[in-house]
Structures are given as C-alpha cells and as structure tokens.
Amino acid sequence: MSKSFDVIVIGGGPGGYIAAIRAAQLGFNVACVDEWKNDKGGPAPGGTCTNVGCIPSKALLQSSEHFDHAGNHFADHGIGLSNLTIDVTKMLGRKDQVVKQNNDGILYLLKKNKVSFFHGRGAFVKAESGTYEVSVSGTADATLSAKHVIVATGSIARQLPGAAFDEDRILSNDGALRIGAVPKTLGVIGSGVIGLEMGSVWRRLGAEVTILEALPGFLGAADEGVAKEALKAFTKQGLKFAFGVKITGVQTGAKGVVVAYTNAKGEAVTLDVERLIVSIGRIPNTIGLNAAGVGLALDERGAIIVDADCKTNLPNVWAVGDVVRGPMLAHKAEEEGVAVAERIAGQHGHVDFNLVPWVIYTSPEISWVGQTEQQLKAEGRAYKSGQFPFMANGRARALGDTTGFVKFLADAETDEILGVHIVGPFASELIAEAVVAMAFKASAEDIARICHAHPSLSEATKEAALAVDKRTLNY
Ligand code: FAD
Ligand code: NAI
C-alpha cells in the first residue's frame, strides 16, 4: 500500500526542504525524502550545504579567522598573547555541533510545517494515470505516491581521473572539512570557490598551501579588477598559486601525495604534499533515482533538463538546485524550490537569475551581483564605473581591515545599476544592498542619495555609487 501525498520532494538540501516547506504552507500534503546520514546513522537533512558545504566551511573559516587575528592582528590593538595554540579536534567538534544544530533545526521546521519526512533513498518506480510512485529505501522502507514530484538531489564532487577520493590523502570537500591535524603541506587542485575557502582555512592554521589551476587566469567569473585585488591579497597571506597547469599524475604514498604537472611554460614539475584537496567543480547527482526508468531526461553533463520554470520533460515532475542548470548555490536552489511550490499552487513563482549574488568567504571576502566589466565590454554596452577603496572608509580603518573596494557599473545613459562588485571586509553582507537596489531597478544616483549610517562599511557602497558620477566626498 502506498502512502498518498500531493507533492513528493526527493532530496532534503536547501532546494528540497525549502520547496517542501513552501508547498506545505500553500496547503499541500507533502513528503520529503532525504538519505543523508549523521555519524550515528540518523537523519541529517540539509544536504551538501548543511553537512559538507556552506555551513561547516563557514564554521571552519570563522575558527581559522579567529586564530589568524589572534596571531597576526591582536598585537596591533595592544593585546598580547603568548603560547597561541589551535586544538584542531575541538575546532572540528564545534563545526560538527554547528552542523547538528542546523540538521535538527530543519527536522523541526519540517515537523512544524507538517511535512512528512522519510529517511532513505527515493527512487521513481512508475508513472500511472497521472500519479508517480516513489519507493523509499533506508531507515524504514515505504512506497509513496503523488501527482507532483520535485527532484532536488543536488550534486557531488567531481573526481580527477586517476586520483580517486580516498578522503585521507586525496580529499573532496568532505575530507577537506575533517583533516584531523594541520598538515605541514597541502596541495589544492582548482583555484575556484572551494579551493580558495578551504585553502584559506588550512593556510591560516599554518599549512603551506599550493593551489594548482588549469586556467591561465584567476577567478574568471569575477570582475577582473576584483580578481586582481583578491589575488594580490591571497598571495600576501602566503597562498601559493600556479596557473595554466596540466596535471599529469597523482601518486599517493604512506606519507603523502606527489602531484606531477606541467606548468604554464610547459616544464615538468612535481609537488610533494601531505594532503591534496581536489576541488575542480561538482557534478549533478541522480544516482539511484531511476531517472531512466520513468524517462526523465538528462543532459550530457548528467543534469536534469528543465525549462526556465524548472519543469522537466515529464508532466508534473520538477527539478531544482544543483541537479539542474545554473549556478550551484544554496540560495539559488532555495529560490527555485519556492518558485516551483508556488507554480504547483497556480501562482507565478519567479527567479531572476541575473540577481543571484555570489559570495566567496575568504579574507578579503568577495561578492558580486549582476554583470562584470568584461561582460559589459563583450556585449558592447556603454557603461560608467565608480569605485571606492575601503582604505578611505573610517569604519574599515577602525576595524583594521582596509583591503579592497566597492565597484559600481551603471548604464552610461540611464544610470541603471548593471553590476556591483565588492572585495573587502563583510562583502558578504554589503552585497545585499546592491541586490535590493538592482531588484528595484535603481540607478547609481538612487544609492548615492540614500543616507547611510556613519561610520559604516556601507558608506563605501554609497561612495562607490557617487564615484559613478565622479563626485565621491571622502576620496
Ligand atoms: P544538496 O544540498 O546537495 O542536497 C541534496 C540532498 O538530496 C542531499 O541531502 C542528498 O543526500 C539527497 N539525495 C540525493 N539523492 C537522493 C535520493 N535519490 N533520495 C533521497 N535523497 C537523495 N553555496 C552557497 O550558496 N554558499 C556557500 O557558502 C556555499 N559553500 C559551499 C561549500 C562547499 C564546500 C560546497 C561543496 C558547496 C558549497 N555551496 C555553497 C554550494 C551549496 O552547498 C549547494 O549549491 C547546495 O547545497 C545545493 O542545494 P540542493 O538542495 O540542490 O542539493
Ligand atoms: P569551481 O567551479 O568554483 O572551481 C573549479 C576550478 O578548478 C576552476 O577554476 C577550474 O578551472 C579548475 N579546474 C578544473 N579542472 C581542473 C584540472 N584538471 N586541473 C586544475 N584545475 C582544474 O568548483 P569548486 O571550487 O569545486 O566548487 C564547486 C561549486 O560549489 C562552486 O562552483 C560553487 O557553485 C559551490 N561553492 C560555493 C561556495 C560559495 O558560494 N561561497 C563555496 C564553495 C563551493
């Protein structure tokens, strides 16, 4: 006997659990199936984001930033410390606690919203007379049926051919968050978001970190000016980079890993490290879903094919988050989840992909929304730009963190904001103002005319908006 629902959500990450909650708010009888297990075998909803992604990485970034401040910046404030140590076991334990609080919070939210949670793997069984049957195999086996199914099965780390993850020497994001002691040397393949964030954590704690990147340039998705400023800061912190490399072999031994590669000049080089993080992107995950069994169409990358509304090729089957096209970001997955639940209810859910902000939680933090200067140039769009350095911002000086700037790009004629790019302190928080402004189609002058509190980092945003019209007041 199958249990009948209006909506079944497969996957309990940010895309799935948020879709389930929104669908329940809209009056549907909802099931959410998620297979993630905690170390005791119990349910751990929240997906990659909560268990091995956004949340634990930010916990370790915070711990390592405290350590860095204590070791390198407290003295500037007259605070003396001797015998500074790091207890990695305790740091990892705290991170695990933060994860558990989030897992428990999601279980509570599902219950509060009367979503039925099933701990196990969900797989399509069949589609009959407009109803989908989904089997759950896991903690308790069950068969569910519903008219609507939302697939939110996320993504998994991409392996480098010939260098399978063993999570001991060759680490994915999962192992990179569980290194039991600070390695003397750490290699990272891929200078993308994970490479920079996890490389920063272990560098701050004392590891010698070398990042090998296939592309000739750094952080191609970011505005060029921001990427240049960030690279300067990271290099100053001691992160070592090699660009334009081609990995030719990875050998693990009892003591570590030897990575062989050719550098940008074509010379053969080897890198000997205790541990190696491979962060070369992620791939959509449909393992065990039986997509083929019901004819759910995937593209050549394994992503579920969806239209702009997250509709798949099957009637009433939707897919959201990392398992479909678009940026692999938790907030993008959430927005799609909400929009799909609203569409099922006959409402007009909407996601503006141009307004999905990016944040990299390094030090300095990097954030942006909208278009980069190089994209505008390629488009041939006439634009104006304005930039304001944190060096000229009073709050940044008081914080002792004056790296970076805020940069505005606005239409040359209408002054509409086309992109905002930030590198510097609390860029992750500052970007929200730019997203709001762009959502309301604001001009740079709109921001320039709004009263911003003094002294605050947000004054740099106002000043960058003023800079578009070449009338900064403090620079
Ligand atoms: P996921 O979070 O991957 O969730 C999918 C869930 O479905 C998982 O729980 C999985 O176990 C479950 N599942 C899969 N198949 C089945 C099945 N057949 N049956 C039942 N359950 C199934 N994004 C940000 O926006 N900000 C960040 O700071 C950030 N930091 C990150 C740091 C790291 C190290 C990593 C790896 C990623 C980070 N991301 C970040 C990306 C973010 O984690 C993802 O974009 C987000 O988790 C995608 O959500 P999702 O719901 O699509 O998939
Ligand atoms: P990424 O796509 O950000 O970066 C991968 C990098 O590896 C690229 O620079 C690429 O050129 C390079 N690369 C690919 N193949 C290579 C090879 N063979 N040798 C050397 N370099 C190679 O992917 P990453 O860092 O794995 O992260 C995956 C995704 O997770 C991100 O794209 C992002 O969507 C998400 N994420 C988001 C975070 C955030 O929002 N703060 C934090 C961490 C991850």
Tell me the mean pLDDT in the region 302-306. 98
* Ligand (nearest to CA of 43): 1
Confidence at residue 302, expressed as pLDDT on a 0 to 100 scale: 96
pLDDT at residue 404 greater than cutoff 90: yes
pLDDT band at 2, cuts 50/70/90? confident
pLDDT at 198 over 90: yes
pLDDT at residue 139 tops 90: no
Residue 279, both tokens: 């962060």
Paired strand residues for 31:
8, 116
CA 292 to chain centre: 29
Residue range 364-468, CATH number = 3.30.390.30
Where do the structural domains in the chain lie, given as residue ranges?
A: 3-157+283-353, 170-280, 364-468
Q: How many CB atoms lie within 10 A of CB 235?
A: 11
Q: Which CATH number fits domain 3-157+283-353: 3.50.50.60, 3.30.420.40, 3.20.20.70, 3.40.190.10?
A: 3.50.50.60
**CA distances (Å), 148 to each of 128, 142, 285, 396, 449, in order?**
12, 17, 20, 50, 47
Verify whether ligand 2 is closer than 6 Å to residue 247 (CB atom): yes
Give pLDDT, residue 87. 98
| Minimum-distance ligand 2 atom for the alpha carbon of 219 | 9
Is residue 37 within 8 A of residue 120, CB to CB? The reply is: no
pLDDT of 1 > 90? The answer is: no
**Do 364-468 and 170-280 fall under one CATH topology?**
no
Asked if pLDDT for residue 254 goes beyond 90, the answer is no
Active site members? 454
- Would you say the CB of residue 13 lies under 6 angstroms from ligand 2? no
Domain 170-280 is found in CATH 3.50.50.60: yes
For residue 59, which ligand has an atom nearest its CA? 1
Residue 380: count other Cβ atoms within 10 Å of its Cβ.
Answer: 6
- Which residue out of 54, 110, 159, 283 has the highest number of ligand 1 atoms within 8 Å of its CB and is therefore the one to mutate? 54
Q: What's 429's DSSP letter?
A: H
Q: What is the pLDDT of residues 342-373, one digit of tens each?
A: 999 999 999 999 999 999 999 999 999 999 99
pLDDT at 140: 83
Q: Which residues contact 404 (CB under 8 A, 6 or more apart)?
A: 229, 230, 233, 364, 389, 390, 422, 423, 424, 425, 427
Q: Mean pLDDT over residues 114-130, rounded?
A: 96
* Ligand 2 centre distance from Cα of residue 190 (Å): 6
